[in-house]
């Protein structure tokens, strides 16, 4: 069973709770999330922009840069990887290429949204949308390209903030009819709106809830979201927010104190880091191919 099939099977298993997919942005974060017990991972375009370029999530990441990152993460971890594909990086033909390249790189699911280019974080103001018809064409293009089932398609609408809640539900209906495997209605403002989404769609396909600290949507626990009817819960930028909070403190203290003495109990030393990375196991494996080690 491929990773996409495994992911969809897990999401449709009513005997299990909602699936939490932590946000990751590189091989190290993915490996740590896997070690912590994650069943699937979410490669956040926002977190990638933050960490790779030190820039906000305003459409600055390219398709090829994201594809390279997918491949690096897929080489490091075995979990299903859900990938933020933004708008598909262009029109329906661009979407077909994005779907093909991302699936080949290791994506188990790609998320497409109905914003125009350049896109913005779903919890930022100033977004604009393509027409429902254009987005439907993109979903169908992705589904045609991925007809063998090697990668799922998540359809996201950002219409709540722009056209209103009812319009967002109409868009979502069109995306379901277009063949989306998973539905993502971005930034519902309260639990009442979240409940309306699940009442309308949860019996037909898995629904995704996006938890953004400081965002538009109430932060609820996994069990609460599962009880509402969501099957997939992502925390796309939570680790970056924790990392940057710590990083600001660390660099300020390092420059003020001239050393790391106050951080020894809050960091891995070189030995601990190499243990986390599995350095000894990798080097031991290499000995099998070293002619000098055979003597």
Q: Are the CB atoms for 238 and 213 separated by under 8 Å?
A: yes
Question: How would you list the strands of the sheet with 152-157, edge to edge?
Answer: 182-185, 152-157, 109-113, 81-84, 41-43, 19-24, 232-235, 208-210
Q: What is the pLDDT of residues 75-112, one digit of tens each?
A: 999 999 999 999 999 999 999 999 999 999 999 999 99
pLDDT of residue 292: 76
pLDDT of residue 119: 72
**How far is the C-alpha of 246 from the C-alpha of 156, rounded, in Å?**
32
Domain residue ranges in the chain: 3-243, 262-295
pLDDT of residue 116: 87
3-243 — its CATH code?
Answer: 3.20.20.60
Q: Is the pLDDT of residue 117 over 80?
A: no
pLDDT of residue 122: 58
Q: What is the pLDDT of residues 235-264, one digit of tens each?
A: 999 999 999 999 999 999 999 999 999 999
Q: What is the pLDDT of residues 279-293, one digit of tens each?
A: 999 999 998 998 876
pLDDT of residue 294: 66
């Amino acid at each position: 069973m491929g990773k996409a099939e495994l992911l969809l099977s897990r999401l449709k298993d009513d005997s299990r709770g909602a699936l939490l997919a932590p946000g990751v942005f590189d091989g190290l974060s993915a490996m740590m999330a896997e070690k912590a017990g994650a069943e699937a991972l979410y490669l956040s375009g926002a977190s990638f922009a933050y960490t790779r370029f030190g820039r906000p999530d305003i459409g600055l990441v390219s398709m090829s840069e994201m594809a390279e990152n997918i491949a690096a993460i897929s080489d490091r971890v075995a979990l299903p990887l859900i990938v933020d594909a933004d708008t598909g990086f262009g029109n329906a033909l661009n979407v077909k290429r994005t779907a093909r390249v991302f699936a080949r790189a290791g994506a188990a699911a790609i998320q497409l949204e109905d914003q125009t280019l350049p896109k913005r974080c779903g919890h930022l103001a100033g977004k604009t949308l393509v027409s429902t018809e254009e987005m439907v064409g993109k979903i169908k293009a992705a589904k045609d390209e991925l007809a063998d089932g090697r990668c799922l398609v998540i359809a996201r609408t950002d219409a709540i903030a722009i056209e209103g809640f009812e319009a967002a539900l109409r868009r979502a209906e069109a995306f379901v009819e277009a063949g989306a495997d998973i539905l993502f209605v971005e930034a519902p403002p309260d639990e009442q709106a979240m409940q309306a989404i699940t009442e309308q769609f949860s019996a037909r396909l898995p629904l995704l809830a996006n938890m953004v600290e400081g965002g538009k949507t109430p932060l609820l626990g996994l069990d609460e979201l599962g009880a509402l009817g969501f099957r997939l819960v992502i925390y796309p930028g939570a680790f970056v927010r924790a990392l940057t909070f710590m990083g600001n403190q660390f660099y300020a203290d390092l420059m003020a104190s001239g050393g790391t003495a106050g951080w020894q109990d809050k960091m891995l030393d070189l030995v601990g880091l190499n243990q986390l990375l599995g350095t000894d196991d990798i080097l031991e494996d290499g000995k099998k191919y070293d002619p000098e080690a055979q003597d």
